Structure formats: structure tokens, C-alpha cells
């Protein structure tokens, strides 16, 4: 059996809305404080999109930056996957809207993936496998979210945690062996769906004057339960992926965890026996941006030089569903 072709991340791009909302600003509208939010979550501020700034707009900007950094044109892309839990519209997909805004070719597949905060890792894996299938050479993988549109701004237990952003990766096949995506794991447990969900707005309970009055279209979360499960599945996902690749955690140069809560990340690091200095943290500036969280953090690690050619990088996330995933990458740096 011939080995599968390598699939590597060639470039990354991000977009964050201009508007910064600090913890102090939030404390003017809900009963909270900078001290509570920082101590319990590690978040200091978040970005909030403008009314007309939607996931397809943010995603198109992030993707355009990724293409420009790679010296590529929109027409060089053979496949687009967008991960989002806050699509612009119920249908059609955010990917189709983004395709049109970015001027991608019309002979390519464009679709969304719904896996909440694990969405980017799910999309990266689906894209990698589609490239390995041989029909496509280069894909755009985008995580784009406007969580501010589904958060109840009167609910202090959730509104302080989330933010808006987009991140994009250009991935492509390579003839070089043992580079790019080395191993991955995806999982889900739908029996825990009600730990983090919106009651109304889907076909089970379509939006109506009553559902809106009852705030049923807002995100609801059992934070304590999600916290416990998040630590467990993130730590075990890392362990399983490392085992599959025959790599020890000591060999990983940089961990890119989903940026939900610094205490979750600290607990995962402690379970893995890894120092926090190898975990990229940026939730202080952006909060939890769901599917955008991993590409936002990965782009920062790359741009700031925390990741070098041949380094092992481990992405790990969990989210509503519940869903989880981890991807081990041997980094390829084209401009070394
Ligand atoms: O991508 C997946 C997304 N979700 C997550 O990752 C969430 C995971 N969970 C968490 O991050 C944490 O559970 C939270 C940050 C949401 C909450 O932290 P906690 O340490 O579990 O606090 P808690 O929910 O037990 O609340 C403690 C207290 C409560 O008051 P009482 O009952 O002890 O009097 C809350 O009412 O803190 C109160 N509280 C707040 N106080 C000030 C809850 N939210 C706030 C707030 N400001 N924003």
C-alpha cells in the first residue's frame, strides 16, 4: 500500500473586529467585575463585530490574508470548508457566501462544518482527507464566528466569555514525507448536547415572537459540567494522538489549545505534565471565539516565531455537541 501524501499548512490569516470590549465595559451593563472574569476565565477583553460584519466577511478577510501571505490567488483554491456555529444564514452555507466574496472558482466544493469550538480541527481533518483522496490539491480551511449574535448580553455567566473573530489556513499536498498533519483524532458525545446549546431557532423549535421573548435563541451553558468534561477530553485527546504518532509530550514544541478558559488549559497541561510555557495563550485579548480560536492562536504562534520548521505542534479543542479533536502537525515553514 502506498503512503498517503503529506498535507501541510502553507499559510495562515486572521481577522478580528475593530471594536474592543473590556471587562470594565461589561461591568457597566451586567453585575460582574474585571477581577471575577480574569480570575475565573483569564479573559481581559474580547472583540465584537459590527452589525454588518458577519462570519463570511470576517472569514473572507482572514482567507485573503492567508492567500496573500502564500503568494496565491483565489483561483488557486480547489476546496473551501468553513467551520462555524454562527452561520450568516440558516442556509445557504457561510462557505458559499464567502466563496462569492473572495472570488473563488465556481467548480469547487464549498461547505460548512458544524462542530462548535472543535470546528476548525474537524474542518482541517476533513480537508486533509479530501486532499489525500487526490481530487484536490489546495484548500482553504476557515473558522469564523460571531458569538456576540447568540449571546444573552444580560446573562453574566456566559456573556463575559465569548468574542468574534475569524482565522484561515491554506493547506496543500506535498511530496515531502513526514511533514504536515501526522495524526489526528475526532470525537463526539451527543448525549451531552444540552450542556451547551440554543433551545430555539432551529427546525425543532423555529424562532417565533414567543421564543424571542423567552430568550430561547440565546446560547445556554452548564459551565461547571462543560469545564470538567473539557479537561478530561482535551487531555485524553492529546495523549491518544501522541500515542498514535509514537511521540512523547516532551517532543511537542507548541500546544495550541482551544481558548475557552485558562484554568481548563492549566488543568490539561498539568495532566499531560507539560509546562504552561509551551501552551499558546491569547484568550486574555479575544476570549472564546469558538471555531476561530485555534487558527487565531496558531497564526499568532507562527507570526511570533514560537513555531519553526520541523517543530511538532499539537492542536486540541472541545466544544458544544459535545465534540472534541486533536491534530499533531510537523510544521513546514516555506520561508525558512
Ligand atoms: O468552548 C466551550 C465553551 N464553554 C466553556 O469552556 C465553559 C467552561 N466553564 C467555565 O469556563 C467556568 O465554569 C465558568 C467561567 C463559566 C464559570 O466559572 P466557575 O468557577 O465554574 O463559576 P460558577 O459558575 O460556579 O459561579 C461561581 C459564582 C456564582 O455565584 P454563587 O452561586 O457562588 O453565589 C455565579 O453566580 O460566580 C457567579 N458568577 C459571576 N460573578 C461575577 C457567574 N458569572 C459571573 C460573572 N461575574 N460574570
pLDDT band of 2, cuts 50, 70, 90: low
Domain at 6-177: CATH code: 3.40.47.10
Whether pLDDT at 1 is above 70: no
Whether pLDDT at 336 is above 90: no
258 is catalytic: yes
Whether pLDDT at 46 is above 60: yes
Closest CA to 168 of 330, 329, 9: 9
pLDDT of residue 84: 98
Domain boundaries of the chain, sorted by first residue: 6-177, 181-330
Kindly report the protein residue whose alpha carbon is nearest to atom 1 of ligand 1: 319
> Which pLDDT tens digit goes with each residue over 59-113?
999 999 999 999 999 999 999 999 999 999 999 999 999 999 999 999 999 999 9
With a 6 Å cutoff on the Cβ, whether 157 touches ligand 1 is: yes
Q: How far is CA 247 from CA 63, 253, 269, 303, 329, in A?
A: 32, 12, 16, 25, 11
**What pTM was estimated for this model as a whole?**
0.97
Same fold, 6-177 and 181-330: yes
pLDDT of residue 4: 86
pLDDT of residue 334: 77
CA 252 – CA 268 distance, rounded (Å):
14
Nearest ligand 1 atom to alpha carbon 226: 8
pLDDT of residue 326: 98
CATH topology for 181-330 is Peroxisomal Thiolase; Chain A, domain 1 (3.40.47)
282 is catalytic: no
Amino acid at each position: 500500500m502506498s503512503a498517503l501524501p503529506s498535507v501541510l499548512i502553507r499559510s495562515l490569516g486572521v481577522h478580528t473586529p475593530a471594536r474592543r470590549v473590556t471587562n470594565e465595559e461589561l461591568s457597566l451593563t451586567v453585575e460582574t467585575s474585571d477581577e471575577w472574569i480574569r480570575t475565573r476565565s483569564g479573559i481581559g477583553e474580547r472583540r465584537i463585530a459590527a452589525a454588518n460584519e458577519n462570519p463570511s466577511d470576517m472569514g473572507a478577510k482572514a482567507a485573503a490574508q492567508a492567500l496573500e501571505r502564500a503568494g496565491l490567488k483565489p483561483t488557486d483554491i480547489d476546496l473551501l470548508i468553513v467551520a462555524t456555529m454562527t452561520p450568516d444564514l440558516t442556509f445557504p452555507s457561510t462557505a458559499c457566501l464567502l466563496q462569492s466574496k473572495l472570488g473563488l472558482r465556481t467548480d469547487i466544493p464549498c461547505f460548512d462544518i458544524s462542530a462548535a469550538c472543535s470546528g476548525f480541527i474537524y474542518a482541517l481533518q476533513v480537508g486533509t482527507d479530501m486532499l489525500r483522496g487526490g481530487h484536490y490539491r489546495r484548500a482553504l480551511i476557515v473558522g469564523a464566528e460571531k458569538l456576540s449574535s447568540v449571546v444573552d448580553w444580560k446573562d453574566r455567566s456566559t456573556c463575559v466569555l465569548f468574542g468574534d473573530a475569524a482565522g484561515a489556513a491554506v493547506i496543500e499536498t506535498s511530496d515531502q514525507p513526514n511533514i504536515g498533519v501526522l495524526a489526528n483524532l475526532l470525537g463526539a458525545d451527543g448525549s451531552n448536547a444540552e450542556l451547551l446549546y440554543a433551545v430555539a431557532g432551529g427546525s425543532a423549535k423555529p424562532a417565533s415572537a414567543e421564543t424571542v421573548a423567552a430568550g430561547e435563541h440565546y446560547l445556554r451553558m452548564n459551565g461547571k459540567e462543560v469545564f470538567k468534561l473539557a479537561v478530561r477530553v482535551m487531555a485524553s485527546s492529546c495523549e491518544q494522538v501522541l500515542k498514535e504518532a509514537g511521540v512523547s509530550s516532551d517532543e511537542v514544541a507548541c500546544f495550541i489549545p482551544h481558548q475557552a478558559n485558562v484554568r481548563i488549559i492549566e488543568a490539561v497541561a498539568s495532566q499531560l505534565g507539560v509546562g504552561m510555557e509551551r501552551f499558546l495563550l491569547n484568550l486574555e485579548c479575544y476570549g472564546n471565539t469558538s471555531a476561530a480560536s485555534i487558527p487565531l492562536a496558531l497564526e499568532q504562534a507562527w507570526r511570533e516565531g514560537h513555531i519553526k520548521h520541523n517543530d511538532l505542534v499539537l492542536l486540541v479543542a472541545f466544544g458544544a455537541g459535545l465534540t472534541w479533536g486533536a491534530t499533531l502537525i510537523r510544521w513546514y515553514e516555506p520561508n525558512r
